Amino acid sequence: MRVDRKTPTVVVGDIESLLEDWRRHLRAKNRSPATIDSYLVVGRSFAAYLTTRGMPRDAGAVAREHVEAYVADLVERLSPATAAKHYRSLQQLFRWLVEDGEIPRSPMERMSPPAVPEQPVPIIGEDDLTRLLASCKGNTFENRRDSAIIRLFLDTGMRAGELVGLGVEDLDFDHDVAIVMGKGRRSRAAPFGARTAEALRRYLRARARHPLSARSELWLGKKGPMTDSGVRQMLERRALDAGIENLHPHRFRHTFAHRWLAEGGQEQDLMRLAGWRSREMLGRYGASAADERARDAHRRMGLGDRV
């Protein structure tokens, strides 16, 4: 019996119709699911903007002025950092279109990204950390789990996605490191100290009694493995108990970088521990420590006190 296969409809050159092929390309490049989803959100947003403004959606007809108008619209409505993120994502889209032969050159060739004012993320102070950990005292499953999560964030500076992606087998207590999968699907060893190791082992003992203990994922909730959203919600609850405002995973990452540099740690070592390849990220995350070092140097020199 003959089965007629329906040929998929493809609108050649249309930006939005090309996004599925871009997704496949990104998957073949082993980009993380979160990165792929982020890129595609921007691609769809750009295609929708072109449609609403009556601009061409054919990749070969998109010109620099169309991209500039889109970015300018973002700057007016959203933060400079968000606009810059969309800019970088579109750069990747047009780079792929050039490499794949869909367009001869990128309309963004000579464009510059929107300026992002440097705004150091506030670090988490010692008193806040003390109150935060105190909110997790006790032997309940949630207390042990949340204490281990907070200490691991603080001790390693790992990203929320890296923490959520940990499996039980990714903890190495012989060397006290967690093997995380970072951006670009690159793995690295994130070392942790004695107190974090103790908190992790206390959590693992409680985890062994959990109904879902056979799961490979390290962090468990009541109904299944914890998600990125679940971790953020947990931090919000704990921060509310501790009287801390605007607590999110990246503040731990900034705090880790700040404390490392403030204590005289080597920048190259920090880059390896944090999983950064660009020194631009080092400058962004080390801004708080740089400001503090500059203030300390000013106090030591006492320039205004000499006359």
pTM of the model: 0.67
With respect to residue 68, please indicate whether it lies within any of the assigned structural domains: yes
Residue 88 sits in which domain range? 15-99
- Tokens 């603080």 found at: 154
With respect to residue 118, please indicate whether it lies within any of the assigned structural domains: no
Co-location of 78 and 214 in the same domain: no
Co-location of 208 and 66 in the same domain: no
Cα dihedral 76, 81, 86, 88, rounded to 10, equals 140
Rounded Cα distance, 72 and 66, in Å: 10
Angle, CA of 155, 161 and 166, to the nearest 5°: 70
Rounded Cα distance, 261 and 254, in Å: 11
Q: Which of 172, 158, 249 is nearest to 204 (CA)?
A: 172
What is the arrangement of strands in the sheet containing 177-181, beginning at the earlier edge strand? 171-172, 177-181, 187-191
Rounded Cα distance, 150 and 160, in Å: 11
Co-location of 73 and 220 in the same domain: no
Among 38, 64, 99, the domain boundary falls at 99
With respect to residue 110, please indicate whether it lies within any of the assigned structural domains: no
Rounded Cα distance, 36 and 92, in Å: 11
Co-location of 47 and 174 in the same domain: no
Co-location of 156 and 234 in the same domain: yes
Co-location of 271 and 231 in the same domain: yes
Q: Do residues 81 and 89 touch, judged by C-beta distance below 8 A?
A: no
Instruction: Tell me what pLDDT residue 271 has.
Output: 84
* Domain at 86, CATH number: 1.10.150.130
Angle, CA of 16, 22 and 24, to the nearest 5°: 130
With respect to residue 304, please indicate whether it lies within any of the assigned structural domains: no
Q: Do residues 91 and 79 touch, judged by C-beta distance below 8 A?
A: no
Co-location of 142 and 277 in the same domain: yes
Among 99, 116, 149, the domain boundary falls at 99
With respect to residue 60, please indicate whether it lies within any of the assigned structural domains: yes
Instruction: Tell me what pLDDT residue 246 has.
Output: 87
Sign of the CA dihedral 70, 72, 74, 80?
positive
Co-location of 86 and 147 in the same domain: no
Instruction: Tell me what pLDDT residue 23 has.
Output: 95
* Domain at 250, CATH number: 1.10.443.10
Instruction: Tell me what pLDDT residue 230 has.
Output: 94
Co-location of 187 and 40 in the same domain: no
Length in residues, the chain: 307
User: Running along the chain, 307 residues long, what does each successive block of 10 average in pLDDT?
Assistant: 46 82 92 88 96 94 95 91 92 95 93 78 88 95 97 93 94 94 80 96 97 96 93 95 90 88 83 77 66 67 59
Instruction: Tell me what pLDDT residue 302 has.
Output: 60
Co-location of 94 and 135 in the same domain: no
With respect to residue 27, please indicate whether it lies within any of the assigned structural domains: yes
Q: Do residues 273 and 141 touch, judged by C-beta distance below 8 A?
A: no
Co-location of 162 and 76 in the same domain: no
Provide the domain count of the chain.
Answer: 2
Instruction: Tell me what pLDDT residue 1 has.
Output: 46
- Residue 253, beta-bridge partner list: none
Co-location of 171 and 272 in the same domain: yes
Instruction: Tell me what pLDDT residue 17 has.
Output: 93
Rounded Cα distance, 126 and 88, in Å: 36
With respect to residue 8, please indicate whether it lies within any of the assigned structural domains: no
Please give the C-alpha separations between residue 275 and each of 190, 225, 254, in angstroms, as whole numbers: 9, 25, 13
With respect to residue 7, please indicate whether it lies within any of the assigned structural domains: no
Cα distance between the two ends of the chain? 100
